């Protein structure tokens, strides 16, 4: 896990967000064991109490569960990834629309901008042709 923390948001929330992203990117699977609190604290250079808070919050919201003597595990829920993807897509879309509206764009124009930028993050094909 590599995180650069924005200090203006609770750090434990950012840790949870990063774990969610790892699940969506398939770097983590449902049912996987998370590193011990101490290990993760060392890995990402954070106060172990902050990791404890992140893990506890994930248990409360049902994203993870603690198994006594073994550690903390992501739940093995079938639809977990799908649900997370939806949750994160919703948030990203809302932020984007909010931003565009604040620039004065209306719905139809916003849609046009999305279409125009569909291919923007795709790799260029060999032969040097960019994507439109």
CB nearer to another protein: give 11 or 74.
Answer: 11
Separation of alpha carbons 130 and 35, rounded Å:
41
45: contact with another protein by CB under 8 A:
yes
| Longest CA–CA separation in the chain, Å | 56
Q: Does 43 bind another protein (CB under 8 A)?
A: no
Query: Does residue 12 belong to the site contacting another protein (CB under 8 A)?
Result: yes
Q: Which residue has the tokens 């604290």?
A: 41
DSSP letter (8 states) at residue 71: E
Among 2, 7, 78, 117, binds another protein (CB under 8 A): 7
Q: Using CB under 8 A, list all residues that contact another protein.
A: 5-13, 41-42, 45-50, 52-53
């Amino acid at each position: 896990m590599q995180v650069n923390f924005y200090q203006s948001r609770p750090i434990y929330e950012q840790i949870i967000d990063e774990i969610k992203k790892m699940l969506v990117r398939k770097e983590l699977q449902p049912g996987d064991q998370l590193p011990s609190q101490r290990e993760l604290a060392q890995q990402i250079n954070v106060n172990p109490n902050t990791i404890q808070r992140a893990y506890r919050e994930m248990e409360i919201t049902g994203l993870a569960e603690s198994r006594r003597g073994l550690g903390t595990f992501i739940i093995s829920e079938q639809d977990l990834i799908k649900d997370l993807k939806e949750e994160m897509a919703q948030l990203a879309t809302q932020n984007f629309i909010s931003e565009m509206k604040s620039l004065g764009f209306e719905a139809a124009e916003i849609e046009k901008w999305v279409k125009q930028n569909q291919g923007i993050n795709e790799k260029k094909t060999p032969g040097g042709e960019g994507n439109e």
